[in-house]
Structure 1
Amino acid sequence: MNKEEYLRIIKKGIKKVDAKEKEDILNEYESHFISGYKDNKDDTEIIKELGNPIKVAKEINAVNSIYKIEKEKSVKSIFSAAFSIMGLSIFNLFLIIISFFIFLLLLPFVLAYFIAVPIMIFSPIILLVMGCINGFDTINTGDIFEVIKGVVLGIILAFIGYFIAKYFLKLLVLYLNWNIDVYKKEKLK
């Protein structure tokens, strides 16, 4: 394998990296070859030092996807990072598949949360609409207290959900970074 083929494999492997960043990465690897040539090394020695281009591309994709999670915080970026990390090792594949099934088990509760909390918070509007339709004389103090209780509970649940999501995302990013560190240490052996 020569320099051009090595760089071509890396370029082909780093798919979800924007064009400017991809060019910077390729220029960096090109500079490794140039400095290797200055040290009187041939392509084979330089490639051996840099590592397998397919694994290098997988690592670049994983690091880039973690960066996107920290920047965007979207479901798409989380799944993209999970699949990039899965490509690093078989252990990650099983761990992420198990995590996915646990997520599927919890999905009904998550969906119920996303439906119930807004309804609780906006329950005064529902009560007003019921008053307009049925007449305000049909609304009693028990209904008003139930609405107040629903609003307070909805706000509390919204805050709890926000902090759970925030810390879950931090935990996920820490796990993904740890995975990349472990992968880099394995690569050094």
Structure 2
Amino acid sequence: MNKQQFLNSLDESLQKLSSDERQDILQDFKEHFANGIAEGKSEEHISASLGSPNHIAKELLASHLLEKAERTETTGNIVRAMWAVIGLGFFNVVIVLGPFIAIAALVVAGWASSIAFILSPLLVFINVMLNPDTFILFDMFFSMMLCGLGLFIAIGMFYMTKGFIRGFVRYLRFNTKMVKGGLKHV
């Protein structure tokens, strides 16, 4: 593959990036080719030493999406970054998707329990409306205690969710570095 074919393939694979970012990346690779040619290497040798343009693009996209997820911690950014990292290799399906599902399950369970506890006085009120002769004062006080506990759980879940997101993004970054070349830069 010559220089132009390599750059065209790389440009095609980087279509998800903005035009400016693509041009910066392509300029870096043009300089790499220019340096290699100045050293007496052929374009084919340089492109072979660089590797597959598609794999390079996957790594660059994963890095870009991870940086975006670190800047703006939204669910969409985290999921896009996760899929980009999974796309780096089949092994990552197990290594990345498993922890993501476990963390997501913990977060959903925590929020569901806090919401259920917070809504418990409403359930007692509904029960009193449907069966007025079954009202027990203990039920009202117990549901109020659960509501307070639910509020504490919700506050804790807010901070835990933020921590889980930051930790998972760090894990994705670590995994990307592992795929790119081991632990020498971690």
Query: Which TM-score band applies after superposition, normalised by the shorter structure?
Result: 0.7 to 0.9
Q: Unaligned 5+ residue runs, structure 2?
A: 127-136
Q: Aligned residue for 2:90?
A: 90
Native 8 Å contact 1:15 1:61 kept in 2: no
Helix, strand or coil at the partner of 1:27: helix
Displacement, 1:5?
Answer: 1.1
Displacement, 1:59?
Answer: 0.5
Quick one: which of 155, 161, 167 aligns to 2:163? 167
C-alpha distance in structure 2 between counterparts of 1:76 and 1:21, whole Å:
21
For the structure 1 residues 148 and 102, does the alpha-carbon distance in structure 2 shift closer, same or farther, using more than 3 Å as the test? closer
Displacement, 1:96?
Answer: 3.5
- Counting only pairs closer than 5 Å after superposition, residues 1-189 of structure 1 correspond to structure 2 as 1-99=1-99, 102=102, 106=105, 110-111=107-108, 113-114=110-111, 117=114, 149-150=145-146, 152-185=148-181
For the structure 1 residues 113 and 173, does the alpha-carbon distance in structure 2 shift closer, same or farther, using more than 3 Å as the test? closer
Moved more, 62-71 or 41-50: 41-50
TM-score (norm 2): 0.73
- Matched to 2:94, the amino acid is F
Helix, strand or coil at the partner of 1:181: helix
- Matched to 1:175, the amino acid is Y
Displacement, 1:9?
Answer: 1.3
Q: Once the two structures are superposed, what CA deviation does each residue of 1:25-74 show, in whole Å capped at 9, x if it has no partner?
A: 11111111122222222212221332221111110011111111101111
Moved more, 72-81 or 14-23: 14-23
C-alpha distance in structure 2 between counterparts of 1:176 and 1:100, whole Å:
10
Q: Unaligned 5+ residue runs, structure 1?
A: 131-140
Displacement, 1:113?
Answer: 4.7
Native 8 Å contact 2:78 2:169 kept in 1: no
Native 8 Å contact 1:17 1:61 kept in 2: yes
Q: Tell me the percent identity.
A: 28
C-alpha distance in structure 2 between counterparts of 1:76 and 1:38, whole Å:
44
The CA RMSD over aligned residues, in Å, is: 3.3
Helix, strand or coil at the partner of 1:73: coil
Native 8 Å contact 2:9 2:53 kept in 1: yes
For the structure 1 residues 5 and 63, does the alpha-carbon distance in structure 2 shift closer, same or farther, using more than 3 Å as the test? same
Q: Aligned residue for 1:134?
A: none
Q: Once the two structures are superposed, what CA deviation does each residue of 1:73-103 show, in whole Å capped at 9, x if it has no partner?
A: 1111111111111111121023344346546
TM-score (norm 1): 0.72
